[in-house]
């Protein structure tokens, strides 16, 4: 429990850093949003209107008061009014689009982790063999192909050329969003290519990580002892080596969520998928600053929650961690 | 006496005893040939072992050669490019031909010239951002690892925060407020957000090296701290520093391209990322102008792949177990051919 409390304390502190950055970045940069809007309107704004605008964005008063107001709004999940869909609050569009982004990230992470870990176990067990010497380098190289490019290639081949997959959207317009079989299948169909592009650029790192950790463990004495005892290969491979080797991968999993999120943002842009990435980019073009800032906080919170989950998983899988924390 | 020698043959004989009795034991050279072990080449004598391991690593050298070609063509760009990459050179969307090797963009700029020229900025920003991130990472990692205590706690906190904050969304916020981030600004932001992994690896290495006898000896001799760090600790983790640099550079090149692709860069600059941005905006794929899209894609992919190959070689040098694992397949075949158990692997 003490272990979890310590981690929780760290995540809260990290979130505080994100909030502080989010508050200060626009204030450090040359020209805050209100000045931008003022310039954009070419002086058609009266000084009074300008003051009102500053107040509505929370840029009036001294810095400390601004910070307090900002924190107070955050506590109510009030990210300000969206300038793109004007009367709507930022939070409604934010949470709508976040659902789709998290769906992509969740599916892609799960699939790529399972594939990568499986391949890692196989190539570590048969290290130096054909599969290992060919696919380990190839899969890791796929990592360097960046989501943007893989998404472009898949979009070109499957959506434009062969017309096997849709050109955009998260589901067909004709289908009523509900928890029906038909709707779920339609959503998965639309998510296939975006998810696939993320899987292609990420599974290689699980493959390599699992393989390298397992190779290190295979030289350990406990494996030699297990062999001497005559335990089956199956048992040694999964219960003895893979179980130990997967722990660092789970820690790494939480750290890569941030990277996968970034990849998802770019992928959505290519596939015209209505997630956070697409709306963030239109927010940038529309200078909807409250949305741009809100997405950072939401994504940071998601990454931190993913880290907390991985801590709990580690605690379940690793008895050593449990006994140490009971002290 | 003869019985004794039969029961306890000399070590080499055990290792290479033929399965069929009566066959002569192979010599050391024959075993080496069968296992594919090559002696270090003559020119390698006197060079540091780590360097030789890298120079004789096929993957690593392939990466170095590919990267050298790309870097050279970027450096020599003004001599290579047939057209001005910033100006209209021909009609819109001309397909590749002898005059326009890779065709033209929608506004008639020569794609080949843009590709070669774009490599300059993309590579420069990538390497500089990677280098800056590595330098920050090494400083923070060494300081945290070597000084320990309160300093370590504070620095480790920041390392973990940088690792845990999602880089791209943060960069989007910064870039959105800078408005039309020039490649330089993007590189700066990437350096500030990309040093976490290097710092963590270097800290672990420093912790491991700190307890070694030679560091202790230097401390007892009364060496200054900065001297111990610089002369004793740093050279011993050079390969980790190089590995960190390669990874940070890959991250920077890919992230820069990604940011510019989604339109956060300066659209007036010519880089691989902005080439993709314009191609996407002009719907190049939809109208069938594939040549506006794929050259930049391939350039980024090949650069990334070359760096990954180099990183592979560095990995094998820092971790001998990984290097040894490459030979396991051959050793197994060797043992099997002699009818021996391969259960030890």
Model-level ipTM above the cut of 0.90 = no
Model confidence at B4, in pLDDT bands (50, 70, 90)?
Answer: very low
- Judging contacts by C-beta atoms under 8 Å, the chain B residues touching residue A143 are 304, 308
Residue appearing with tokens 């979130």: A15
Interface test with A, best of B130, B176, B303 (most A CBs within 10 A): B176
CB A33 within 8 A of CB A293: no
Q: What is the pLDDT of residues B18-32, one digit of tens each?
A: 455 556 777 777 777
- Judging contacts by C-beta atoms under 8 Å, the chain A residues touching residue B328 are 127-129
State the pTM of this model: 0.82
Residue A249 scores a pLDDT above 80: yes
Residue A85 scores a pLDDT above 70: no
How close does chain A come to B230, measured CA to CA in Å? 30
**Choice among A157-171, B100-114, B157-171, B327-341 with the minimum mean pLDDT:** B327-341
Tell me if B328 and A127 make a contact (CB, 8 A cut-off).
yes
Residue A107 scores a pLDDT above 90: yes
Q: Which of A77-81, B129-133, B265-269, B326-330 has the highest mean pLDDT?
A: B129-133
Model confidence at B12, in pLDDT bands (50, 70, 90)?
Answer: very low
Model confidence at B131, in pLDDT bands (50, 70, 90)?
Answer: very high
- Write down the pLDDT at residue A87: 61
Q: What is the pLDDT of residues A307-316, one digit of tens each?
A: 888 888 888 8
> For residue B197, what is the nearest residue in chain A, using CA coordinates?
A255
Residue B68 scores a pLDDT above 90: yes
CB A214 within 8 A of CB A125: yes
CB A210 within 8 A of CB A116: yes
Tell me if A146 and B321 make a contact (CB, 8 A cut-off).
no
CB A293 within 8 A of CB A283: no
Buried b / exposed e over A280-316, threshold 16 CB at 10 Å, is bbebbeebbbbbbbbbbbbbbebbbebbbebbebbbe
**A265 part of contact set with chain B, CB < 8 Å:** yes
Q: What is the pLDDT of residues A138-193, one digit of tens each?
A: 888 888 788 888 998 898 888 888 888 887 777 777 777 777 888 888 888 888 99
Residue B100 scores a pLDDT above 90: no
**Residue percentage of chain B with pLDDT more than 90:** 23
How many Cβ atoms are within 10 Å of B4's Cβ, its own excluded? 7
A309: its two tokens? 């989950």
Residue B253 scores a pLDDT above 50: yes
Of B166, B250, B328, nearest to A303 by CB-CB distance is B166
- Judging contacts by C-beta atoms under 8 Å, the chain A residues touching residue B329 are 126-130, 132-133
Overall average pLDDT of the B195-218 stretch: 89
- Write down the pLDDT at residue B263: 83
Residue appearing with tokens 């399972």: A114
Interface test with B, best of A122, A262, A285 (most B CBs within 10 A): A262
- Write down the pLDDT at residue B14: 46
Q: What is the pLDDT of residues B277-300, one digit of tens each?
A: 998 888 888 888 888 889 999 999
Query: Which residues have a Cβ under 8 Å from the Cβ of A273 and sit 6 or more positions away?
Result: A100, A104, A168, A169, A170, A190, A191, A194, A267
**B174 part of contact set with chain A, CB < 8 Å:** yes
Kindly state the helix (H) or strand (E) to which residue B180 belongs, with its residue range.
none
- Write down the pLDDT at residue A33: 66
Tell me if B261 and A26 make a contact (CB, 8 A cut-off).
no
Question: All domains of chain A, ordered by start, with CATH?
Answer: 97-326 (1.10.3720.10)
Q: What is the mean pLDDT of chain A?
A: 83
A89: its two tokens? 């609050």
Residue B63 scores a pLDDT above 80: yes
Between A31 and B331, name the one with better pLDDT.
Answer: B331
- Write down the pLDDT at residue B37: 72
């Amino acid at each position: 429990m003490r272990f979890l409390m310590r981690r929780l304390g760290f995540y809260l502190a990290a979130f505080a850093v994100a909030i502080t950055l989010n508050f200060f970045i626009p204030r450090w940069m040359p020209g805050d949003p209100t000045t931008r809007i003022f310039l954009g309107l070419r002086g058609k704004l009266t000084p009074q209107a300008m003051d009102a605008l500053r107040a509505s964005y929370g840029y009036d008063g001294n810095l400390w008061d601004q910070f307090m107001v900002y924190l107070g709004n955050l506590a109510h999940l009030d990210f300000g009014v969206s300038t793109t869909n004007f009367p709507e609050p930022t939070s409604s569009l934010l949470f709508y689009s976040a659902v789709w982004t998290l769906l992509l990230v969740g599916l892609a992470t799960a699939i790529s982790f399972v594939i990568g870990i499986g391949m890692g176990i196989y190539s570590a067990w048969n290290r130096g063999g054909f599969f290992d010497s060919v696919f380990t380098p190839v899969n890791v190289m796929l990592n360097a192909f960046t989501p943007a490019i893989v998404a472009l290639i898949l979009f070109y081949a499957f959506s434009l050329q062969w017309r096997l997959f849709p050109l955009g959207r998260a589901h067909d317009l004709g289908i009523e969003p509900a928890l029906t079989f038909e709707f779920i299948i339609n959503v998965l169909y639309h998510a296939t290519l975006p998810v696939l592009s993320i899987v292609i650029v990420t599974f290689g790192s699980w493959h390599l990580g699992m393989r390298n950790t397992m190779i290190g463990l295979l030289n350990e004495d406990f494996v030699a002892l297990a062999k001497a005892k005559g335990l089956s290969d199956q048992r040694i491979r999964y219960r003895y080596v893979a179980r130990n080797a997967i722990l660092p991968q789970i820690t790494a999993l939480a750290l890569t969520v941030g990277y996968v999120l970034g990849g998802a943002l770019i992928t959505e842009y290519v596939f015209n998928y209505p997630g956070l990435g697409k709306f963030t980019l239109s927010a940038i073009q529309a200078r909807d600053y409250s949305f741009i800032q809100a997405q950072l906080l939401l994504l940071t919170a998601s990454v931190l929650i993913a880290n907390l989950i991985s801590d709990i998983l580690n605690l379940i899988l690793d008895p050593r961690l449990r006994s140490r924390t009971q002290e | 006496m003869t019985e004794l020698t039969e029961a306890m043959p000399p070590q080499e004989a055990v290792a290479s005893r033929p399965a069929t009795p009566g066959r002569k034991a192979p010599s050391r050279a024959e075993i080496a040939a069968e296992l594919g072990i090559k002696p270090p080449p003559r020119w390698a004598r006197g060079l540091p072992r780590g360097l030789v391991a890298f120079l004789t690593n096929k993957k690593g050298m392939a990466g170095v050669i590919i990267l050298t070609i790309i870097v050279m063509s970027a450096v020599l760009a003004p001599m290579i490019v047939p057209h001005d990459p910033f100006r209209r050179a021909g009609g819109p969307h001309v397909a590749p031909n002898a005059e326009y090797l890779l065709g033209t963009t929608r506004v008639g700029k020569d794609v080949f010239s843009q590709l070669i020229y774009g490599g300059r900025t993309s590579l420069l920003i990538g390497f500089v951002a990677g280098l800056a991130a590595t330098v920050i990472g090494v400083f923070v990692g060494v300081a945290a690892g070597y000084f320990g205590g309160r300093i370590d706690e504070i620095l480790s906190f920041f390392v973990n925060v940088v690792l845990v904050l999602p880089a791209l969304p943060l960069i989007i916020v910064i870039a959105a407020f800078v408005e039309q981030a020039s490649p330089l600004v993007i590189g700066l932001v990437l350096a500030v957000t990309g040093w976490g992994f290097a710092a963590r690896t270097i800290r672990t290495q420093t912790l491991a090296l700190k307890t070694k006898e030679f560091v202790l000896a230097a401390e007892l001799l009364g060496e200054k701290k900065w001297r111990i760090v610089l002369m004793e600790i740093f050279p011993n983790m050079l390969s980790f520093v190089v590995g960190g640099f390669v990874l940070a550079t890959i991250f920077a090149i890919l992230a820069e391209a990604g940011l510019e692709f989604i339109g956060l860069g300066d659209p007036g600059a010519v880089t691989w990322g902005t080439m993709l941005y314009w191609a996407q905006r002009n719907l190049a794929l939809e109208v069938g102008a594939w040549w506006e899209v794929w050259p930049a894609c391939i350039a980024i992919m090949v650069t990334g792949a070359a760096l990954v190959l180099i990183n592979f070689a560095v990995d094998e040098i820092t971790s001998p177990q990984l290097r040894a694992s490459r030979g396991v397949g051959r050793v197994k075949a060797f043992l099997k051919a002699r009818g021996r158990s391969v259960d030890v692997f």
